[in-house]
Amino acid sequence: MLVVDVTMKKKSDQISLIKLISLKNKKALITGSGAGIGKAIAHRFAEAGANLVLVDINFQNIAKVKENLGQFNVEVELYKADLSKSEEINSLWEKMKGTEPDILVNNAAIYPTKSFLEVDHPFLERVLNVNLNSVFWMCQNMIKSRLKKGGVIINMGSIEAVLPLKEGLSQYDISKAGVMALSRALASEYGRNDFRVNVLVPGGIWTQGTKNLAKEAMKLNFGVLKSGFEYRMRSPLGRMGNADEVACMALVLACDLSSYVTGALIVVDGGFLSA
């Protein structure tokens, strides 16, 4: 017999909208926050009142991001780390011992293109280390350090893992498929420890990374040109997205507006996958 607990209140019952969306008194760690989507997430989270830990391989860029966050009056810590190296990840969590973040956004990734037949061991290892293994170790550190407190984890997937569009991205596609599978496994395993783990699945978003891809197109790489054109033609909204449109969904997943959302793949692609 199914027993329904009618007395159980939703976590969000009777909480004002402004409180639900607020990240005040929360600390959020965002990887790859020196550029693109990570930088946009840092802005929205700061606006919502979160104290931030910005992590990137490019220290200059996160220092610039910090300067621009001055208006929000939040604390911002900076860490330079190459997340492809597990020892740098461990040292980061060692430095944060006792002040671990409530929210972890695993956003850093690389997407270099290479024909499948030319991929060699060092190339594949580099992409998997940055895009997938780093997420694995970051999640393990987060969950281990907050097993009794819980927290929120947001990982970055890609529509490429579901519907490969660009040529030469097989290594990227498997890294993102891995991130999506890992996130669902952790959501299932650690929900009772009060962890919510979700995946953002962006479509084509204008960032420094995609601008670099566009530069390849200028060199008459027809594969890239073709896929950019096809993306816009198929997408119901008929355009690429911008980083802030992903950041706004990240904010929803980070705050209590999504208190009953875990193990979800949230697609932010202007309708591309559904068309």
Ligand X SMILES: NC(=O)c1ccc[n+]([C@@H]2O[C@H](COP(=O)([O-])OP(=O)(O)OC[C@H]3O[C@@H](n4cnc5c(N)ncnc54)[C@H](O)[C@@H]3O)[C@@H](O)[C@H]2O)c1
Question: Which amino acid type is present at position 113?
Answer: T
Residue 24 or 64: the one with the smaller Cβ distance to ligand X is 64
Least distance to ligand X, CB of residue 169, Å: 10
Cα angle 225, 131, 264 (rounded to 5 degrees) comes to 90
Residue 98 or 122: the one with the smaller Cβ distance to ligand X is 122
Instruction: Kindly state the greatest CA–CA separation across the chain.
Output: 65
Q: Is 172 a catalytic residue?
A: yes
Residue ranges that bind ligand X, judged by CB under 6 A: 32, 34-38, 56-58, 61, 81-84, 107-111, 130, 156, 158, 202, 204-205, 207-210
Least distance to ligand X, CB of residue 175, Å: 8
Residue nearest to ligand X (CB): 36
Least distance to ligand X, CB of residue 187, Å: 18
Least distance to ligand X, CB of residue 11, Å: 28
Question: Which amino acid type is present at position 216?
Answer: E
The DSSP letter of residue 161 is G
Least distance to ligand X, CB of residue 136, Å: 14
CB 152 within 8 A of CB 103: yes
CA distance 47 to 2: 43
CA distance 173 to 60: 29
Residue 20 or 128: the one with the smaller Cβ distance to ligand X is 128
Give 151: exposed, middle or buried? Use CB within 10 Å, 0-12, 13-18, 19+: buried
Taking the CB of residue 1, how many other CB atoms lie within 10 A of it?
2
Residue 204 or 270: the one with the smaller Cβ distance to ligand X is 204
Residue 100 or 160: the one with the smaller Cβ distance to ligand X is 160
CA distance 275 to 272: 5
* Catalytic residue of the set 111, 172, 190, 231: 172
- For residue 135, the surrounding DSSP H or E stretch is helix 134-145
What is the set of active-site residues? Answer: 172
